[in-house]
Amino acid sequence: MFTEFEAAPPPDGPQLPPHVHLVRPPGTAEDWTMPQDWERFTDEEHRVWDLLFARQQERLAGRVVRAFAEGLEMLRLSRPGIPELGELNDRLHRRTGWEVVAVPGLLPDDVFFAHLAARRFPAGNFIRRADQLDYIEEPDVFHDVFGHVPMLANAAVADFMQALGGAGLSALASGDIHRLSRLYWYSVEFGLAREDGALKIYGAGLASSFEEAGYALDSPLPRRKPFDLRTVLRTRYRSDALQQGYFIVDSFDGLLAEIEAADLDGLYEEAEGQPDLSPAD
């Protein structure tokens, strides 16, 4: 999605990354979805998935919340090769009513949040090259499916994501999308949870990153704070560096309840009268 952390450059600005589009690409539907066309993935692309999966599963041992590991198992994502979305959706939809849809790359905010509100998660229909295992500028199918989809098998997280979709559409209409983007960033992408007395990963940006999956829990550099919605909505972030701070939730049911009960419009208005915060503060 195009937000403060992944803003599309102007037409006369720098060249866009290959999977960022200012207009809907040919061959995509009105909602920017496209057939996965799973058969077109090459043996090399399936090999890249397997390499990423194997090393990330080892990296996450003991570091990720139970819901993530349970989602991997239930959705059978450990099978070799890039998952075929039809098979994946059969299992995911039966579990929580969600499905994964193939898209050409990053989506405009209105399209992205409309998908979430309808319990559809957009996944980039491409995978990084073998020389990009550690970093790719745009989220690919590994980030989107391995990082995000296991948590969508958890009922509370599934409902939270749908709630974010509706909240995102409302924030776009009111001009507060930069605030809602911070909530998405510090929960869905880079959230930590306290489980059995220990800090664990649940955010997709952490679960799919070899470097940051270690840094987030082990490094003395970032600040780690209890999740507080008012603080999150005021806290800036960067997408091009390791995070300077993380927010910790105590439970996904509690996170869902807090968002469902929140007067987000009132919190946006309150935040406008206060300075932004640095995640390192």
Question: Within 13 Å and on the Cβ side, how many CA atoms surround 64?
Answer: 29
260 catalytic per annotation: no
> Which is catalytic among the residues 148, 181, 187, 209?
148
**102, β-bridge pairs:** 123
> Which is catalytic among the residues 45, 99, 189, 212?
189
Closest residue by Cα to residue 259 from 188, 174, 189, 172: 188
**How many whole angstroms separate alpha carbon 111 and alpha carbon 122?**
10
19 catalytic per annotation: no
What is the separation of C-alpha 208 from the centre of its chain, rounded to a whole number of angstroms? 10
Q: Contact 77/53 with Cβ under 8 angstroms?
A: yes
208 catalytic per annotation: yes
Q: Which two tokens stand for residue 1?
A: 């999605």
> Which is catalytic among the residues 115, 208, 209, 212?
208
70 catalytic per annotation: no
Q: Which two tokens stand for residue 162?
A: 């749908």
DSSP three-state, residue 100? strand
Residues 6+ apart with CB under 8 A from 273: none
Residue with tokens 């507060």: 176
> Which is catalytic among the residues 143, 181, 187, 209?
143
Tally the residues of the chain. 281
Tell me the longest C-alpha to C-alpha distance in the chain: 54
Q: Please give the order of strands across the beta sheet that includes 223-226.
A: 198-201, 192-195, 245-249, 223-226
Q: Which residues are catalytic?
A: 143, 148, 189, 208
